[in-house]
Amino acid sequence: MSNIKIYAFSDEASPYIDKQIDALLRNGLSGMEIRNVDGVNIADISKEKAKEVKAKLDAHGLCVWSIGSPIGKIGIQEDFEKHLEKFKHTLEIAKILDAKNIRLFSFFMPKNSDPGVHKEEVLARLGQFVEAAKGYDITLCHENEKGIYGDIPERCLEIHKQIPEIKAVFDPANFVQCHVDTMEAWELLKEYVHYIHIKDALEDGFVVPSGKGIGNVQKIAKDFMARGGKEFTIEPHLKVFSGFEELEQGEKFKAHCEFASNDMAFDVACESFKSLL
């Protein structure tokens, strides 16, 4: 257990980097999956701001495990060239922060359409991300997310088989929200999983502390560790936080829990996972 590394989306505790650092330290975490800094998405911050963040984290013995980027979270029919430039900037930010991973997605599908129609375009775009990332020593990690091409395990598997350079971020709650059995998804994808997002949900899709939903978080984490896995990112989603609206396509926040503050919700998410471990 001593070699387990737990990170978190600390922007769910506060939009401000100093407060995010406080939240990580009081919960005894190793660092963050960085998503928003002082109200700005990580893919949009300047190189100078990234250097400032790195210095603050270094001063407290914390690291950036992964860039929780919005890359690939655009419609498949939207302008890709502009998005590719954003990805190239994100690579530079990751280099400054010494992040080893970038989380990305496989593009939102048009509503009521067959995602299979867009398979080749999705793979071609993901391939361009891989090409752009060559020489950076950064692992690209695809997260299963509702509404994108890779929202169900079968299509995630297609991505990993076709583009083995892209690893998986396994998010149990997102699979629950897509009405997928998480154990079946795990069996299909576990060979490709680089790390796990700790987020749980009930059958109705509402997010709850890990172990309180039907995501089989404990079973999956146990098997992941038995296979040599040791990195986890806690993604609380237990209370509305700054920047949430930018992450979801018109989705309303879905959590059964009521917390007095974002700090409290963040701490509960951390404690619930540590209790499971």
pLDDT given for residue 239 in this prediction: 82
Q: What is the band of 259 on the pLDDT scale with cuts at 50, 70, 90?
A: confident
Higher pLDDT pick, 205 / 252? 205
How many Å apart are CA 258 and CA 66, to the nearest integer?
Answer: 29
Residues spanned by the domain of 33: 5-276
pLDDT digits (tens, 9 = 90+) for 106-121: 999 999 899 999 999 9
Domain count of the fold of the chain: 1
Decide if pLDDT at 1 tops 80: no
CATH code for position 69: 3.20.20.150
pTM for the model stands at: 0.94
- Indicate if the pLDDT at residue 260 is higher than 70: yes
What pLDDT is stored for residue 242 in this prediction? Answer: 61
Task: Please state the rounded mean pLDDT for residues 28-38.
Answer: 98
Percent of the chain residues past pLDDT 70, beyond the cut:
93
